Chains A and B, each alone.
Chain A
Amino acid sequence: MHTIIVVPPGRPDSQEHLTLATGERLVFGRSPADAPGRHQRLTIEHDGVSRIAGEILAQGTFWTLSNLNRDRTYVVENPEGGGEHIKVAPGRLDAPVPFEFARIVLPAAGDLLSFDVWAPRHDYLGADPRIPEGATTAAAFALDRTKRYFAVLVALCEPRLRDAPAHAPLPTADELVERLRPGWPAASRSTVQWNINYLAVKLRLAPAWPCPEPGARRNGMKESLVSLALRFDVVREDDLALLGPAVGAAR
């Protein structure tokens, strides 16, 4: 039932993510255990960081940031947003953060330290353009079709959407990079893999991704993603337009 995931610095694909449910707090800093009350902790070991530097509070599907430092401004970037960011002034409490992906940047004695916070349960309009009401039957997956992860999912599903046999092999990482590059010049194996991992979180295939090791099990995850996405029409034929015309001898 968590809605917010905090990724400790330097541990992007481990199982050490911290998850927060509505109303839960996480205190970060050099010595977050000093903060009173019940909360989760993220220790950032750097002398330039305050003992209690800030607090994240999960609020439904989004989160708020309190800057508990009295001197320094924190910046929250949207890593996919082309420079989009917000500033959280010293001492500001409960500043709402609207990004699905966010990177909190802390200035610390000449260094810039950062860690990521995801809000994978953001709601999006489904097939019906009206604002959903509580009594309307709605699909359970809310994806932002403008995000890179959606393009990655479409590219993963492409062979099977184009009527390739159901057992056709899924695209390799290199093929995915090639396919996505026209719309996403910076695509690389690792960024594509990052998005695949995130999709598993997004589609709730797992509370956090289940396979810290590269290799065979990742293929299993790709298979699961594709079969879930196709089974429940998360990705449909007309989404292929997103990728541009099919290239090469693929089909």
Chain B
Amino acid sequence: MSHPDEQPYAVPVPAGYRLGPWAVGTPLGAGGFGSVYTARREDDGQPADAALKFLPTGTQTPRRLRHLRELAEREIDLLSRVRAPRLIRLHEVRTVDDPSRPELDGATVLVLDRAESSLQDLLNGSPRPGRGPELLVEICEGLHQLHRAGWLHGDLKPANVLLMDDGSARLADFNLAAELEGTHAYSPMFSTPDYTPPETIWGDVAERGQRIRPTTDIWAFGVLAHLVLTGTLPLPGATPAARRDATVRYARGTEPLRLSPELPPDWRQIITDCLAPTHQERAPHDAASLLPRVRAAAEGAAAPRAPRAARPLRRALIALACAGALAAAGLGLHAASSKHPATTGSSPRSAPVALVGYDRCLKGNVCFFTEPDGNGRMCSWEGDETDWLGGASRCSWADQQVPRSVFNNGIGPEAGEPRVSLVYYAGEKLQDRIDCLPRDTRQNIDLARSPRSHVWTEHC
């Protein structure tokens, strides 16, 4: 039924084998599309120690492993173009030229930073490491550095987080990484089940593979954070298949997300946002916006609600709840992100029918609706947004529909927020002012076209 190889990707390399200046040492691991060995440099160059990753791309490689060449190229492409403190560093790429060893000849060898161990090793020894929060900050930094460079990891999990000799974490194993083309990339159709977001489980496939987006990594970060902090995976089940089914049931709205009760509240909110069930609901929580929250949570300080003025314009969060469409699809009613569910005290997902009309607008947000009286589809923001169609927090319907009602449900000076009024504009970048809305105002509006930007201000 299947190819009977024991270790299809293993490349046996004898100890002491010479590759340029490198003398191969002991095996660090096999699988994951290749074999990794320690190596020591026998000249005076730097670094003195490294990890050599052998990928079986040689001429003797059976054609059935042809896809490895592509996976190797992905990793080399990324590592040679993106250098960042939290990503494992590629020092050089070599090709084995050794006709006397046909099993090695032609293999691609990546000379990488030598790590002490992996996060997986650490978790095997102590399921809830004391340094967990600190490591999560470093992992989030790595994700941020990667995403900012325009790449996705595609396979974030504990085995792919390496721990250096100073204990710090770096992301590694970029075989499945993909460069973003606009908003998405194509994955090479491998994935790690427990870290796969619902939309790519049995999702449609194009000829070039499955489309993945940065939110794929964000989901994996949420799973990883839950595992590191509690010792358990967030979705329940004894087998990967059972956990996959639990993920599907959660995404379809038939089961709520039940995170471990041990999670501190600020971590709980971060993980809940990372594990939002759809790409759209996860999208506002990019690595850039998560990083300060993860840092604050790791420092143990309840993440302070900084006044709006203290944060940059793009702090905007949350959008895209389209109650009608989702309810029709059997998904219940998603009000919006539950980042600050102060209005009702309950998460919209656990109270699927409780919120209607203006009540869907969470405390702290301004909400625009496609129908009068707070009905229809809703877009909401906590912060400023200078481009509703192309900014950090988009409104999915604003290019086709015109809002018919609006609710300024912002917080005020008592919560440390001086900017309480909302000015909205017909043009992007705060051009062509339409109106200013005082705090706690809900009203129907009659506009010729949808606004394109808004900003919070102290007075109307």
Question: Which residues of A are interface residues toward B (Cβ below 8 A)?
Answer: 1-3, 21-23, 60-61, 121, 123-129, 132-141, 144-146, 203-207, 224, 227-228, 231-233, 236-238
Q: Nearest chain B CB to A217's CB is how many angstroms away?
A: 15
Q: Fill in one digit per residue for B6-19: 1 if any A CB lies within 8 Å of its CB, else 0.
A: 11100000000000
Distance in angstroms between the alpha carbons of A133 and B193 in the assembled complex: 8
Q: Is B64 in the interface zone, CB < 8 Å from A?
A: yes
Interface residues of B in 16-70 (CB under 8 A from A): 31-32, 62-67
Sort A-B residue pairs by CB-CB distance and give the 7 closest, nearest first: A236-B64, A134-B194, A134-B240, A237-B63, A204-B205, A140-B189, A60-B245
**B207 pairs with A231, CB closer than 8 A:** yes
Q: Nearest chain B CB to A169's CB is how many angstroms away?
A: 18
Q: Is B159 in the interface zone, CB < 8 Å from A?
A: yes
Q: Nearest chain B CB to A146's CB is how many angstroms away?
A: 6
Residue among A61, A138, A146 with most chain B CB within 10 A: A138
Q: Nearest chain A CB to B184's CB is how many angstroms away?
A: 16
Given A22-B252, A129-B6, A146-B1, 8 new contacts (CB under 8 A): A1-B202, A127-B2, A138-B191, A140-B189, A141-B189, A231-B207, A233-B66, A236-B62
Distance in angstroms between the alpha carbons of A238 and B62 in the assembled complex: 9
Distance in angstroms between the alpha carbons of A232 and B251 in the assembled complex: 27
Residue of B2, B195, B198 touching A1 (CB-CB under 8 A): B198
Distance in angstroms between the alpha carbons of A209 and B63 in the assembled complex: 31
**A224 pairs with B207, CB closer than 8 A:** yes
Identity of the chain B residue whose Cβ is nearest the Cβ of A140 in the assembled complex: B189
A–B pairs, 20, beta carbons within 8 Å = A1-B203, A1-B248, A1-B252, A2-B202, A3-B202, A22-B248, A60-B242, A60-B244, A128-B7, A129-B6, A134-B243, A136-B192, A137-B155, A140-B189, A141-B189, A232-B67, A232-B209, A236-B66, A237-B62, A238-B64
Residues of B within 8 A of A228 (CB): 205, 207
Q: Is B4 in the interface zone, CB < 8 Å from A?
A: yes
Identity of the chain B residue whose Cβ is nearest the Cβ of A233 in the assembled complex: B67
Q: Is B309 in the interface zone, CB < 8 Å from A?
A: no
Identity of the chain B residue whose Cβ is nearest the Cβ of A133 in the assembled complex: B240
Q: Give the interface residue-count category, chain B.
A: 35 or more
| Majority DSSP secondary structure for residues of A touching B | loop
Distance in angstroms between the alpha carbons of A3 and B62 in the assembled complex: 34
Question: Which residues of B are interface residues toward A (Cβ below 8 A)?
Answer: 1-8, 31-32, 62-67, 120, 155, 157-159, 176, 188-195, 198, 201-205, 207-210, 233, 239-245, 248-249, 251-252, 254
**A232 pairs with B204, CB closer than 8 A:** no
With A60-B241, A129-B2, A228-B207 already in contact, the answer to whether A137 and B32 are too (CB < 8 A) is yes
Q: Nearest chain A CB to B332's CB is how many angstroms away?
A: 13
Residues of B within 8 A of A236 (CB): 3, 62-64, 66
Residue among A1, A21, A145 with most chain B CB within 10 A: A1
Distance in angstroms between the alpha carbons of A2 and B5 in the assembled complex: 32
Residues of A within 8 A of B248 (CB): 1, 21-22
Residue among A22, A121, A224 with most chain B CB within 10 A: A22
**B64 pairs with A23, CB closer than 8 A:** no
Q: Nearest chain A CB to B63's CB is how many angstroms away?
A: 4
Residue among A21, A134, A144 with most chain B CB within 10 A: A134
With A124-B2, A129-B2, A237-B62 already in contact, the answer to whether A204 and B203 are too (CB < 8 A) is yes
**B254 pairs with A23, CB closer than 8 A:** yes
**B8 pairs with A204, CB closer than 8 A:** no
Q: Nearest chain B CB to A208's CB is how many angstroms away?
A: 11
Distance in angstroms between the alpha carbons of A228 and B190 in the assembled complex: 14
Q: Nearest chain A CB to B326's CB is how many angstroms away?
A: 15
Residues of A within 8 A of B204 (CB): 204-207
Q: Nearest chain A CB to B49's CB is how many angstroms away?
A: 26
